Amino acid sequence: MTAPIDLSEVRNIGIMAHIDAGKTTTTERILFYTGRSYKLGEVHEGTAVMDWMEQEQERGITITSAATTCYWKDKKINIIDTPGHVDFTIEVERSLRVLDGVIAVFCAVGGVEPQSETVWRQADKYRIPRIAFVNKMDRIGADFHRCVLMIAKRLGANPLPVQMPVGNEAHFEGIIDLIEERMLIFNEQSLGQEVTELTIPENYKEKFTAARLMLLEKLADFDEGIMEKYLNNKPVSAPEIYCALRKATISLDIVPVLCGSAFKNKGVQPLLDGVINFLPSPLDVKDIEGVGIGGEKISRKSDPKEKLTALVFKLMSDSFVENLAFVRIYSGKLSLGDKIYNPVKNKQEKISKLMKLHANKREEVQEILAGDIGAIVGLKFTTTGDTLCEKGDHIILESMDFPEPVIGVAIEPKSKAEEKKLNESLAKIALEDPSFSVSNDKDTGQMIISGMGELHLEIIVDRLLNDFKVAANVGKPQVAYKETIEIPQRSEGKFDQMTGAKGQYGHVIIEVEPLKRGTGVVFISSVEKELIPDQFLKSIQKGIVDSLDSGPLIGYPLTDILVKLVGGSYHEEDSTEMAFGVAGAMAIRRATSEAEPKLLEPIMDIEITTPEEYIGDVIADLNGKRGKVVGVSAEGHLQTVKAHAPLAELFGYSTSIRSATQGRANFTMQFLQYDVVPSNRAEAIVKKIRGI
């Protein structure tokens, strides 16, 4: 049996940042210093423990979130290393859903970059306490102070430096600890394992005093004891500062800022101390809340003696294990052989194997307790976002929102023999990744796989061909268009047929109206029971909503539309649910085709960083892609351009931006919203797809 752990000694943390800020390198150093790894893995060499997928090692980026457990000063730390690329934002979302605290890594040169903002907002959504680690202090152009200012300005956070750098760029040697009042120098020959503690040198005294005073001044706003001592010029001890800082971090009032260079092995051990000192244990966070069978709120404490409450936040399949479910245990415990209940699917599951994870390596365990993260092998019905509880119990935790795919490619097996293998492999990937979907085009009969971006689909195709060994032909990327309506319209649908001795009768009158972008589909009924009894409403709604999957223009799903059921009639003997479903479908098809249907396309939010001499070329290139510049700002000799542009114009954008700037510009883009395609452009798209 596993020895019970004291929950105050556990930290469930994630590492998040913009792509290339050094998340995986920081995680590798944490594993090395905690003794979890015995040699340093490097991302650029393809030897990072946490980037274990072949596709990650080839590209030097993180694609899938990897979990591991390590120990620091007798405290247990469960770590999830998340991707930085916007195409894999789903991995960040589902990891943050189950974590108690986060290390946000920032590049000391780039500061707060676009994807840093995205992941920060995701952490805001789940109200997760965080500490900031300003990495790459050894790089040319590194500026700790500028980075802290950007965290405040761009993220609206309240950053509070608890360290200051010793030296800068190539001369970065170590840090000054503002709380313990000491200087730490990291020995490069011992890979940073030897840390020398020194008194603060005279030439740093003035800066140190000013920084420590600012630390106390900010903390005084959140702690009366420190305020009293600060106002009366009395010394404040390190334990008092730690206590106040921890409280202010957990309540999201402050973000402690630390610094270092993970690649040069400097500042990582104090970062681990920061995780222990500032980030919450499962006991420090709010009790988990769920919904009971009657819709009532239920809360559970983080305690192994409570009833079981767990959330499956990720599914993974590979060649060794058919189905691995990553799970966070909020209360109670999971034991080998337990029969548990999935209230979302209303199914019973059996625990055949339990695992602790270390990237792609596993260790079998007998049980997983409250406050911990582990994996279950062989769940048959459970999918991402489902709750697990005890048999006979019923609690559903808030699930996760998954973004809709915006880009698709056609795929087909090379031979009839490969068809089954392709379908099975795609089903496995779709189960693992809720931001990926598979559909069939009704007009062409083609199978379309859709994802969050070109890189996302590239990785999926790579996995299909190399990991799953499927022989398939892949088309060019296509945009996932949608349709909507421009004007209100009223319509009726009547289904009146004789089938044998019995008739089928359904009659509905509906009104449709356009809604603002991003609202989706809304159905309401204002019809009286005398006209249409309640028992038929569900069938009418289903008939209408199912029909909205294929719009009148070119068969793309309809969205941002309000459907009101305003009238109709029924027959006591002949009316059936099926007849009303068909009548609803007839009415909505007529209404949408007469309500001036419009084509919608995904618009992307782009941020480009370029040397100022190329700013004109970048903007001219954007204008040629139907782009709209929404802001330009200067950071030193670099210019940052923010723009919105249609995804349809942005295929291969990395090539055109490189040629416009001699390879010196960087850009990131993410989905912003759907918007109406200009009419001349829409006509061309409709003709092309209809084959006119």
29-49 confidence digits (pLDDT tens):
888 888 765 555 444 444 444
Q: What is the mean pLDDT of the chain?
A: 86
Amino acid at residue number 226: I
Confidence class of residue 321 from pLDDT cuts 50, 70 and 90? low
Q: Residues 72-109: pLDDT tens digits?
A: 988 989 888 776 555 566 777 778 888 899 999 999 99
Tokens representing residue 622 in the block: 């954007």
Secondary structure of 449-490 as H, E, C letters: EEECCHHHHHHHHHHHHHHCCCCEEEEEEEECCEEEECCCEE
Q: Residue 597 pLDDT > 70, yes or no?
A: yes
> What is the pLDDT averaged over residues 235-240?
92
Confidence class of residue 318 from pLDDT cuts 50, 70 and 90? low
Confidence class of residue 149 from pLDDT cuts 50, 70 and 90? very high
Residue 53: per-residue pLDDT: 44
E strands within 344-406? 347-350, 353-358, 361-365, 367-369, 373-377, 387-390, 396-397
In degrees and rounded to multiples of 5, residue 170 shows phi and psi of: -65, -20
Q: Residues 463-518: pLDDT tens digits?
A: 888 878 888 888 877 888 999 999 999 999 999 887 666 788 999 999 999 999 98
Residue 688: per-residue pLDDT: 81
In degrees and rounded to multiples of 5, residue 444 shows phi and psi of: -95, -15
Q: Cβ atoms within 10 A of the Cβ of 667, count?
A: 19
> What is the pLDDT averaged over residues 669-687?
88
Q: Residues 271-288: pLDDT tens digits?
A: 999 999 999 999 998 889
The pTM (predicted TM-score) of the whole model is: 0.72
- The overall longest dimension of the chain from CA atoms, in Å, is 102
Confidence class of residue 404 from pLDDT cuts 50, 70 and 90? confident
Torsion-angle region of residue 497: left (phi > 0), alpha (psi -120 to 50) or beta? beta
Task: Please name every residue paired with 261 in a beta bridge, in sequence order, or none if there are none.
Answer: 266
Task: Please name every residue paired with 274 in a beta bridge, in sequence order, or none if there are none.
Answer: none
Check: CB of residue 135 under 8 Å from CB of residue 257. no
Quickly list DSSP for 307-361: PPEEEEEEEE--SS-S-EEEEEEEESEEETT-EEEETTTTEEEE--EEEEEETTE
Quote the CA–CA distance of 22 and 18 in Å, as a whole number: 9
Whole-angstrom distance between the N-terminal and C-terminal Cα of the chain? 69
Residue 113: per-residue pLDDT: 80
Q: Residue 387 pLDDT > 60, yes or no?
A: yes
